[in-house]
Structure 1
Amino acid sequence: MPLSERGIAEHDSLTPMKEREFRLLRELVQEHTGIWLQDGKRTMLAARLAKPVRRLGLPGFQSYYALLRESAEDSPEFVEFVNAITTNKTSFFRERHHFDYLAQKIVPEIKAASMRGGRKQIRVWSAACSTGEEVYSIALTLLDAVAEPGWWLEVVGSDIDTGVLETAQRAIYPAECLESIDELQRQRYFLQGKDSRAGQVKLKAEVTRMVELRRVNLMDERWAADGPFDVIFFRNALIYFQQDVQERFLRRMTGMLRPGGYLFIGNSEQIPWMHDRLEPLSQTMYRLRGSG
């Protein structure tokens, strides 16, 4: 959920963001989302917040900060603020080795346990799901890997950004997003858009009905995501939090894994301080310790 160059807008009509304003807004961002903005992010933050400042008819960032301080977290102004400072980069089957491991190792493991009288259920949580491509990649993987009736397959997708969750809920994407998906999966799981929807695809109900999308702010005391889960994907988000916040989130998440459950993180992320609880399988795949 980083800030990026995408979306930098003209904001010459506003007084440039002062260092003090940046620090106040940075503290507000961290307090409510956990995201830490480094010192060099002032220009990017100003660009991202210029649109809501203008829309509200405010003279500058100090006034915007004062308004946010008086606003409830669920107010339209505060939700827009949170959406403005988050960026979501994702794609179908990004970091494919995680999906291969889910299909080739984890699903057979759970199916073998079910033959010994275990449950016929698989639950996966995508904890920073963005616009939904990760969620639906998990769903396609489970549908193909299980391929048997009588199983309950559920994928929970969550994000703090309401805008990306709306995109995920629609489950409609540009057709070029399917480059990483093989032809058989395209034919089985996607509908091709026609007329005004030409060039777009939509996930079929077979896929979307196994997905549940929820807004979750990981800083909240209560999360709208109920364990236990067999696998948690928390990828490419950790790097935007400081280590104490990372550890707080991860220890809470691992408490929501089933015995023997798995955690996947992003390729650029490392969590060596979690090895007391998680067994490293590779740099980015971990299994809950003490669970056989």
Structure 2
Amino acid sequence: MAAKTAETQQTQADKTPPASPLKKGNVNIPFDISKLTLEEKLAVLERINADIENETKNKRVLQPTAARTAAPAQPASQAARPTATQLFKSAQPQATDGGSSLFAKRNAASQDSAALANNASAIRSPLARRAAGEDSSGNEIKITNDEFVTLRDFLYDQCGIFVGENRKYLMENRLNTRLRELGLHSFSEYHNYLRYDKNKTAELNELFINMTTNETSFFRNNVQLDIFRDKVLAKLISEQRAKGEKKINIWSAGCSSGEEPYTIAIILLDLLKGEINDWNIKITANDLSLAMLNIARKGTYSEYALRTTPPEIIEKYFIKEGRNYKIVPAAQKLVQFGQINLSRADQLARVERSHIVFCRNVIIYFDDAMKKHVINAFYDNLLPGGYLLIGHSESLHNISRTFKPEHHPGAIIYRKQS
């Protein structure tokens, strides 16, 4: 009778349906795991390891010590149903049978896990790799020649900034971090992002920041500023007084984070002193970067921004706020900030005509065609007899002959003929 009962139980065991599919969270993983992706297979592997941990723990508690060291072999009928480990290994052609013990299974699973972990690019989807800021090899993202030309031309079309072939490394280095932050793994994807993504406008501003050098300070190049104060501004004030027109318009094109236009404002305050309120003074300060303009509008700077500023100027025109310095309201109210793209003729045409234009260390980013476009725009903007001041290392030679250069010790300034 006992033999018949055992036979009946065995027959029922043979008819028992396979175990339910493995689960990872709320996702059912099919029994035929050869159809799974590598990431799903990895999830199966993680489940196997967890099962082995639980199985090992239970057997250590329930089995006597002797049984654990020498467990009897299972009947063939009970071993017919494959384990999760066997299923996983059957889907991996390179795997070999590591034995039937739990520890052999664990060893095989660990080897599979190590192999998969060492091949991160194969395990993880492109989205996962992008989130970690890696390219397909996990290295720094490199720019191909075709990607460089495409992105360089795009940048030029947007703002006139030209990156020469010899500065390909600059684009690669400066934009690498940005690609990683966005979760992109090629410069082609970044170009598409700039063209089609819903955040393309904001990202364009990030591109402008990364591809320009916003190195500036208050009272930068004091020699040129002395000439501006003593030869240009003092003369203009005298002429305006004589005409009964106490009005001065100055344009700071490419103002970065505001140090230049605020420096001009301080010089005006220092020259006119108490008379400043009798004058209609407007300093128009424009830049391509919204981030730089936001800094400028706040008017708060670190000590580093004042490194070229005379101590008496700091004492008189800045308010100490902790470790920072804030420009005084009298200087701040003379300046109006706004974004401008110097490659856009329509935007340039909207700037009120000026007595003086500052555009220092900006045209170095342009090719000859763009330089001519911008310089001609400045000429059209300037009132007769107006002045143009560019960077001390810049020149209008071979760019424009419409301005008359005036040579001074340590600086050249350009004047529009009356």
Normalised by the size of structure 2, how large is the TM-score?
Answer: 0.62
Alignment of 1:71-220 (within 5 A): 75-147=201-273, 148=275, 149-193=277-321, 198-220=322-344
| 1:114 shift after superposition | 3.1
**2:134 touches 2:141 (CA, 8 Å); kept in 1?**
no
Provide the aligned length of Structure 1 versus Structure 2. Answer: 278
Report the equivalent of 2:193.
67
1:228 maps onto 2:353 in alignment = yes
Task: Please state whether the residue corresponding to 1:191 is helix, strand or coil.
Answer: strand
1:16 maps onto 2:142 in alignment = yes
Highest RCO, 1 vs 2 (Cα 8 Å, sep ≥ 6): 1
Report the equivalent of 2:166.
40
| Greater fraction helix | 2
CA RMSD of aligned residues (A): 2.3
Identify unmatched segments of 5+ residues in structure 2.
1-132
* Worse overlay, 97-106 or 235-244: 97-106
1:65 & 1:273 partners in 2: Cα distance?
34
Max radius of gyration: which structure?
2
Distance 1:10 1:175, change over 3 A: farther
**2:224 touches 2:392 (CA, 8 Å); kept in 1?**
no
* 1:106-159 Cα distance to aligned partner (Å, 9 max, x none): 233233223333310111111111111111111111111122140122211111
**2:216 touches 2:305 (CA, 8 Å); kept in 1?**
no
1:249 maps onto 2:374 in alignment = yes
| 1:211 shift after superposition | 0.6
Normalised by the size of structure 1, how large is the TM-score?
Answer: 0.87
Distance 1:182 1:83, change over 3 A: closer
**1:155 touches 1:212 (CA, 8 Å); kept in 2?**
yes
Identify unmatched segments of 5+ residues in structure 1.
1-8
Task: Please state whether the residue corresponding to 1:124 is helix, strand or coil.
Answer: strand
1:72 & 1:99 partners in 2: Cα distance?
43
**2:375 touches 2:400 (CA, 8 Å); kept in 1?**
no
Distance 1:222 1:116, change over 3 A: same
1:277 & 1:73 partners in 2: Cα distance?
41
* Worse overlay, 218-227 or 34-43: 218-227
- Percent identical: 28
2:240 & 2:324 partners in 1: Cα distance?
39
1:46 & 1:203 partners in 2: Cα distance?
37
Distance 1:129 1:73, change over 3 A: farther
2:192 & 2:134 partners in 1: Cα distance?
23
Report the equivalent of 1:270.
395
| 1:20 shift after superposition | 0.9
Distance 1:26 1:204, change over 3 A: same
Distance 1:172 1:101, change over 3 A: same
2:175 & 2:304 partners in 1: Cα distance?
30
Distance 1:83 1:275, change over 3 A: closer
Distance 1:274 1:77, change over 3 A: closer
Distance 1:284 1:128, change over 3 A: farther
* Worse overlay, 36-45 or 247-256: 36-45
